[in-house]
Chain A
Amino acid sequence: MKKPPKIVAALSISAALLAVLPILYLGLRLVQGFEKAIEELLRFRTIELLGNTTLLVLAVTISALAVGFVQAWLTTRSNIFFAPLFGVLAAMPLAIPSYVMALGFISLFPGFSGFLASWLVLTLSTAPFVFLAVTAAMVRADTATEEVARTLGLGKLAVIRKITWPAVKPAAFASSLLVALYVLSEFGAIALLRYDTFTRAIYNSYRGSFDRTSAAALAVVLLLITLLVIWFERKYRGDYQASPKALTKRLRVDLGALRLPSVALLSLVAIMGIGLPIISLVSWSVQGAASLDWGNLIAALLVSMQLAVSAGLLIGVFATAIALWSVRYRTKLGAFIETVSWATHAIPAIVVGLALVFFGANVTPWIYQTSWMLLIAYLILFLPNALSAISTPIAQVSKSLEEVSRSLGTPENKTLFKVVLPIAWPGIIAGVALVSLTVLKELPATLLLRPSEIDTLATRLWSATEDLAYSQAAPYALLLVIIAGLPALALNSQARRALTEVSS
């Protein structure tokens, strides 16, 4: 079989090792201290956390599914006023990191905390995932079947139940599982809103005691729950690959008397999800502008940018190597490396952070408490994102271009650099940019692993909020929305496609 260039193989293998070793080490440590860990887990507290976490995951998943589905149906299938505008508004919360949204609410309503608060904030944050997936499925589905159903005597609601819903069900379920994974690994918003789930408990027991066994044991439980959800996600993801259909004129259902109430409903969601948090952050920023330490803000901005760009480039190089190997050479080893790199997909950042704390302190003390640890954490967390973004443009370079290049005297490996990479370049750059923007917003792993002298925008926001200094936190939050959230939304190809469809 054909062999990839040595540099590609070396980069891929080291990325895969970096990604899995710390997690494996966490498990190993736990096996060594098995009895103590069991003792930790058998306390009532663990049951309580399990209950809290499960309740929040289920509640948010169901409500995000309901909100996202209604938004998608109203904007793509009904004659609601301003459908394109409501489409944009439905996707917008993606630009606001959930802990920023939480900050927006707390600073408006002091005492806003606990289960209901977390449920509301996370529902608003995650509904866009369902909205985008269901919109895409609704656009693909052929509305002719709905028209036929109407001629066969079904009412509007019956058509939704019997025709529309079955057509988008796979997409809706797949995106709901993504929502569940998101809630499981969410740390910032839940911690700010003081609701006790695994992620908050892990962070507190890590901070609160010198013995970290308890934190590690809880982290492993969270990891197992996550793996269970991922297993479900894998199982149900495969079966929605509807082929793109020729676009026919879309049927829009007449809402009749419900037209205005529908507008009110979507407006309410938009006001809660975007309006309130942004207004709150802007007004606090204005209040705090006079006392704001601009030096700190600029220093944090520079540190954040520096980390984001170096992490983006590092992850981009690794992801490109893995994508080249698995997509263009199709060897067994290449496919294996790709699978390993995907294994860390959706593992909560707090677990990754904790695993690296153990690994760094015990195995690699020479880089512990340096920025390298942070870069490794970002690699573990975002390599899967980068892989999915970068594999597509690399796979799209036609095989016949490679063949032509070789017939013109260019050896295989040189063809990779002269033909394949230059053509895939724009896609690779977009992937790197997306990863950099995600790194910019990262909170839990950064909190656990940052060297003590370093502060990013996210960690500054965090510490100011912990001190209840909202006017100090708000400018950081606004800055994150502007430099990370909005550009990431603009680069999100799923969002772009959905919005073009809705507005057409």
Chain B
Amino acid sequence: MATLVLSQLQKAFSEQVVLDSVDLEVQDQEFVAVLGSSGAGKSTLLRLIAGFEKPDAGSIELDGVGISDSSSVLAPEKRSIGIVPQDSALFPHLSVSQNVGFGLQGGSSQERQARVAELLELVELTGYANSKPEKLSGGQAQRVALARALAPKPKLILMDEPFSALDAELRTRLRLDVKAILKAEGATVVLVTHDQEEALSLADRVAVLRNGQIVQVGSPTEIYNSPVDIGIATFLGDSVLIDGKVVGGKLETALGQLTPLNTVSDGQQGLVAIRGENFYLQPNPKGEGEVIGQVFFGHDAVVEVLTRGIKIRARSNGPFAPEVGMKVTVWVRGAVNFYPA
């Protein structure tokens, strides 16, 4: 039902262009993640959609109705767009259930209470209905903030790095919970984040924002496997770039002949991006590669290898990773992306 359309959005703060001709469509019940590094314009984009800032040019439509353009901005309270801020921003003077019920207007008080109870159950915090926000842990506070945003059944939910303040383990668990809750409510969601794992694991579609422009939109697998340029390829995960040349549909490189993922034509010169997990290191006393560094992460390890004058960083199974000083042969598994110069 709710469709968000951003057309040619433009925003500058004192001459500094923050968003430049942003186009984006979000379908009903779709979960779109906007992925960008800090300073890319993510927060400004959310504030424009929420109605806290006015675009310099372009327009925003929700359900076919214009809500923002350079001449007029519909007030935030009239948009039916809920927000889940980075710091939860729970009202400290209200209890958990009062926080969740804050945006409920109209209807009988029983109806409102029922809705609050329903949401508290959904976020599994029924026992905390009368607690004050200061008693909650970070993860609980974020779930209350989500329930509060969902309560009035808004047309759209905006989430601003909602998991960044949490520790790693909690983050992973909460992500799954939140995804399930949002699906259960049939919500349409725009989430902004700098965390690619978060974007790729949660969203139906990912939009990559760079220097105020959306440079690629696609499903998580598309974005990860076929970044449109080297910038995105290196931003999304650790890639090694080496020179390559297309010969007979294959990529000739210093690391051997590789299979291109994208369409290429013979004779092209350019760069090949190989991800850490595409490397396979075979221990071999006569191998040309030598392990020169290793960072151990437990479940896996990043191993630095110098081979044929090229330094690569390979992901390797943690406990079985080759030690520094070992000789190895470097293999590249799977297809790789090629970017013509």
The answer to whether A400 touches B89, judged by C-beta atoms less than 8 angstroms apart, is yes
How many chain A residues touch B (CB < 8 A): the figure is 17
Contact of A403 among B52, B102, B103, B154 (CB under 8 A): B52
The answer to whether A411 touches B75, judged by C-beta atoms less than 8 angstroms apart, is yes
Contact with A along B66-104 (1 / 0, CB 8 A): 000000000111111111010101011100000000110
User: Distance (Å) between the CB of A415 and the closest chain B CB?
Assistant: 8
- In the complex, whether A78 has a CB less than 8 A from a CB of chain B is no
The answer to whether A406 touches B77, judged by C-beta atoms less than 8 angstroms apart, is yes
- In the complex, whether A336 has a CB less than 8 A from a CB of chain B is no
Q: Is the interface of A mostly helix, strand, loop or mixed?
A: helix
Name the residue on B nearest A397 (C-beta).
B92
Contact with A along B133-154 (1 / 0, CB 8 A): 0000000000001001101101
Residue with the highest number of chain A CB atoms closer than 10 Å, among B80, B92, B151: B92
- In the complex, whether B330 has a CB less than 8 A from a CB of chain A is no
Complex Cα distance A407/B89, Å? 12
- In the complex, whether B50 has a CB less than 8 A from a CB of chain A is yes
User: Distance (Å) between the CB of A467 and the closest chain B CB?
Assistant: 52
* Known A400-B85, A400-B87: A407·B79 in contact at CB below 8 Å: yes
Stretch at the interface among A234-242, A351-359, A419-427: A419-427
How many chain B residues touch A (CB < 8 A): the figure is 27
Complex Cα distance A400/B87, Å? 9
* Chain A residues numbered 419-454 whose CB sits less than 8 Å from any CB in chain B: 419, 422-423, 425
Contact of A404 among B75, B78, B89, B93 (CB under 8 A): B89
The answer to whether B93 touches A407, judged by C-beta atoms less than 8 angstroms apart, is no
Complex Cα distance A102/B339, Å? 88
Name the residue on A nearest B92 (C-beta).
A423
The answer to whether B91 touches A408, judged by C-beta atoms less than 8 angstroms apart, is no
The answer to whether A407 touches B82, judged by C-beta atoms less than 8 angstroms apart, is yes
- In the complex, whether B110 has a CB less than 8 A from a CB of chain A is no
- In the complex, whether B105 has a CB less than 8 A from a CB of chain A is yes
* Known A409-B105, A423-B92: A404·B85 in contact at CB below 8 Å: yes
User: Distance (Å) between the CB of A323 and the closest chain B CB?
Assistant: 18
Complex Cα distance A408/B91, Å? 12
The answer to whether A425 touches B93, judged by C-beta atoms less than 8 angstroms apart, is yes
* Chain A residues numbered 383-433 whose CB sits less than 8 Å from any CB in chain B: 398, 400-401, 403-412, 419, 422-423, 425
Name the residue on B nearest A411 (C-beta).
B77
Contact of A409 among B50, B77, B89, B145 (CB under 8 A): B77
Q: How many A-B residue pairs have CB under 8 A?
A: 64
Complex Cα distance A419/B103, Å? 12
The answer to whether B91 touches A423, judged by C-beta atoms less than 8 angstroms apart, is yes
Residue with the highest number of chain B CB atoms closer than 10 Å, among A398, A406, A409, A410: A409
Contact of A423 among B93, B145, B152 (CB under 8 A): B93
* Known A409-B152, A423-B91: A403·B85 in contact at CB below 8 Å: yes
The answer to whether B91 touches A407, judged by C-beta atoms less than 8 angstroms apart, is no
The answer to whether A410 touches B77, judged by C-beta atoms less than 8 angstroms apart, is yes
The answer to whether B82 touches A422, judged by C-beta atoms less than 8 angstroms apart, is no
Name the residue on A nearest B89 (C-beta).
A400
Chain A hits for B148, CB < 8 A: 404, 408
The answer to whether A407 touches B75, judged by C-beta atoms less than 8 angstroms apart, is no
* Chain B residues numbered 22-81 whose CB sits less than 8 Å from any CB in chain A: 50-52, 75-81
The answer to whether A401 touches B91, judged by C-beta atoms less than 8 angstroms apart, is yes
* Known A407-B76, A410-B77: A419·B50 in contact at CB below 8 Å: no
Complex Cα distance A408/B76, Å? 8
The answer to whether A422 touches B79, judged by C-beta atoms less than 8 angstroms apart, is no
Chain B hits for A406, CB < 8 A: 52, 75-77
* Known A403-B76, A406-B76, A409-B77: A422·B93 in contact at CB below 8 Å: yes
Residue with the highest number of chain A CB atoms closer than 10 Å, among B52, B80, B93: B93
Chain A hits for B80, CB < 8 A: 409
Chain B hits for A410, CB < 8 A: 77, 102-103
Name the residue on B nearest A401 (C-beta).
B89
Chain B hits for A404, CB < 8 A: 83, 85, 89, 91, 145, 148-149
Name the residue on A nearest B105 (C-beta).
A409
Chain A hits for B105, CB < 8 A: 409
User: Distance (Å) between the CB of B87 and the closest chain A CB?
Assistant: 6
The answer to whether A403 touches B50, judged by C-beta atoms less than 8 angstroms apart, is yes
Contact of B103 among A398, A408, A411, A412 (CB under 8 A): A408
User: Distance (Å) between the CB of A413 and the closest chain B CB?
Assistant: 11
Complex Cα distance A410/B94, Å? 15
B residues in contact (CB < 8 Å) with A? 50-52, 75-83, 85, 87, 89, 91-93, 102-103, 105, 145, 148-149, 151-152, 154
The 5 closest A-B pairs by CB, nearest first: A408-B103, A406-B76, A400-B89, A422-B93, A407-B83
Given A407-B76, A409-B77: 12 more A-B contacts, CB < 8 Å? A403-B89, A404-B85, A404-B148, A405-B91, A406-B52, A406-B76, A408-B151, A408-B152, A409-B78, A412-B77, A419-B91, A422-B93
